[in-house]
Structure 1
């Protein structure tokens, strides 16, 4: 339910007050971006759809009959725009969903533009920084790469219903009206979506969360070992069944031995140096990967790796190598030597 101030802004916007409209939608822009990203798996596409949502809201402002339901009206527009986009777009996945495990001793395959891949989401755009820590943690759980991958295996309508009912907690009657469905159809689709997520072990049980000091210690050790090219040390931080992939390379490996071999053959040849710059993506710790070849003056941005940590071990590493997908992150294109302590 909107506050009296927001309702006043709605009424002003409906009369053509563009400043009131911009003030009003500024409150909802970030959460709409997260919603569209969950629907689409792409931050760049989500940004486009939010812009289109706000354009539609401005053009159709006079048709809103319930100013107190403005937020719901925006979500209705955004969700249907996402469904229209998904009707003509393939699912966004990761290589572990599209290809068999790779031979870690073989040369890396060429990059593929199809299938289109999931894109990372910066935590800086997630929620209000002043929100309750528990609320922030719950929201981040609903934007992890594991959750996004599971959503991709739902039909677009199931995806929308799950997000609107489970994540955003709209009433079934509202969702039914927005999607032109019956309430029983919405409830049935929600049950199928829940079963699909359980089958992929998403949200099925509470995971052990490492206290912040211990997590930071683990991450600091990860950085040190990577920058020292200490492959045995790095592998020791992994769970035995950990997996690693580098979209848009259509390759992935699983298990400590396979990851160690891949590191040895592809990422840590002699005369290459790495520097890691901490960030966060999809509710998880992440690092910008900067590579410096022998004789180069600077370290060049190579990609960004997102870690999934359970307990005291790393269970997955997804290295996004498509630099265009990192444009929303505060990662400089180069790092000079002085930042490497040289």
Structure 2
């Protein structure tokens, strides 16, 4: 948005023009949503908080003294609302962060509501036609489940500083002013946060290259193995140390043998059929999981599996089974049993 246009809209909004305000904030809503999601680990909480931030911006519109700093002003409001929320909310996580490895022969536990789990984020909401390939690649890396899991180990203030300084590249002096800290305190917190994430190998120093052509073939084989109940073929696509989890079930399994046992005992059982509908989530390939039980005439949507692929093998499978997480993915609730689908994974 040109500076002159933004200034005119700010002045009109400050005078009470709601249409000018809506026009002014519309270009920033998606990037604020991504920022709040990174802070909170929940798409639903992020959506609610962005609306609260915009309401707060409308209520406090007269206090903005520099119309050209409107975007920064919105980020300051949204960041501080996130910090307030994090003071009263437990950190989100995934089962590998909270529980010991599960025994695939043990009875299936009840779903756990505490700790609260990370939620998936649809890649469609990451789309920005104004950014180049390198920027898009970094944006995807800064929203992966591995990155979000690592962020949860930072204090809320460290999390905010890392995202504002390292990901969004706001100046240290500006971040210090927003958070009522000194510049040395901001720089010190940033270094501690960087070290914590580098230890987990999730903070890329250079842009990630595009996926290799072999990834499409791997995903095609993954779908075929699921739909044909080919457990040996599916397990062969995994790394030796691959892990599999199904929040909100508080279980996780690691290694090909454990995962194969779980698949054969509880998932790919006789009389049950599966269909996978491709999508993308958290910068990674993902699939809507559809299950058809014996005698049923349709597949029922039951969850979303997000894959992480490392060096041509699947490193993790996170199957989100909480139905409330999926409204933003646009996946249909059912599919006809004989329906054919065209698969495009890398769009």
TM-score, normalised to structure 1's length?
A: 0.96
User: Quick check: 1:93–1:117 contact (8 Å CA) kept in 2?
Assistant: yes
Is residue 147 of structure 1 aligned with residue 141 of structure 2?
A: no
2: CA distance, partners of 1:332 / 1:307: 20
The answer for the alignment partner of 2:264 in structure 1 is 264
Shift of 1:133: 2.0
Shift of 1:274: 0.2
The answer for the alignment partner of 2:159 in structure 1 is 159
1: CA distance, partners of 2:53 / 2:123: 22
| 1:207-286 equivalence runs, <5 A | 211-286=211-286
Structure-2 change in CA distance of 1:329 and 1:157 (3 Å) = same
User: Quick check: 1:210–1:312 contact (8 Å CA) kept in 2?
Assistant: no
1: CA distance, partners of 2:106 / 2:340: 31
2: CA distance, partners of 1:208 / 1:163: 18
Moved more, 142-151 or 203-212: 203-212
User: Quick check: 1:31–1:127 contact (8 Å CA) kept in 2?
Assistant: no
Structure-2 change in CA distance of 1:316 and 1:43 (3 Å) = same
The answer for the alignment partner of 1:40 in structure 2 is 40
Structure-2 change in CA distance of 1:278 and 1:28 (3 Å) = same
Structure-2 change in CA distance of 1:161 and 1:208 (3 Å) = closer
Q: The residue matched to 1:280 in structure 2 has which SS?
A: strand
1: CA distance, partners of 2:41 / 2:120: 8
| 1:92-241 equivalence runs, <5 A | 92-203=92-203, 211-241=211-241
Structure-2 change in CA distance of 1:211 and 1:186 (3 Å) = closer
2: CA distance, partners of 1:166 / 1:208: 16
Shift of 1:208: 8.0
Shift of 1:16: 1.0
1: CA distance, partners of 2:204 / 2:175: 24
Structure-2 change in CA distance of 1:199 and 1:284 (3 Å) = same
Deviations along 1:12-58, whole A, 9 cap, x unmatched? 11111111110111000000000000000000000000000000000
The answer for the alignment partner of 1:298 in structure 2 is 298
Deviations along 1:292-325, whole A, 9 cap, x unmatched? 0001111101100000011211100000000101
Shift of 1:276: 0.3
| 1:8-47 equivalence runs, <5 A | 8-47=8-47
Q: The residue matched to 2:332 in structure 1 has which SS?
A: coil
Q: The residue matched to 1:9 in structure 2 has which SS?
A: helix
User: Quick check: 2:222–2:234 contact (8 Å CA) kept in 1?
Assistant: yes
User: Quick check: 1:208–1:310 contact (8 Å CA) kept in 2?
Assistant: no
User: Quick check: 1:246–1:318 contact (8 Å CA) kept in 2?
Assistant: yes
The answer for the alignment partner of 2:75 in structure 1 is 75
Structure-2 change in CA distance of 1:155 and 1:2 (3 Å) = farther
The answer for the alignment partner of 2:345 in structure 1 is none
Q: The residue matched to 1:338 in structure 2 has which SS?
A: coil
Shift of 1:2: 5.7
Structure 1 portions without partners, runs of 5+: none
2: CA distance, partners of 1:206 / 1:266: 41
Aligned-pair Cα RMSD in Å: 1.6
User: Quick check: 2:194–2:203 contact (8 Å CA) kept in 1?
Assistant: no
Structure-2 change in CA distance of 1:206 and 1:71 (3 Å) = closer
User: Quick check: 2:138–2:207 contact (8 Å CA) kept in 1?
Assistant: no
Q: The residue matched to 2:20 in structure 1 has which SS?
A: helix
The answer for the alignment partner of 1:334 in structure 2 is 334
Shift of 1:213: 2.8
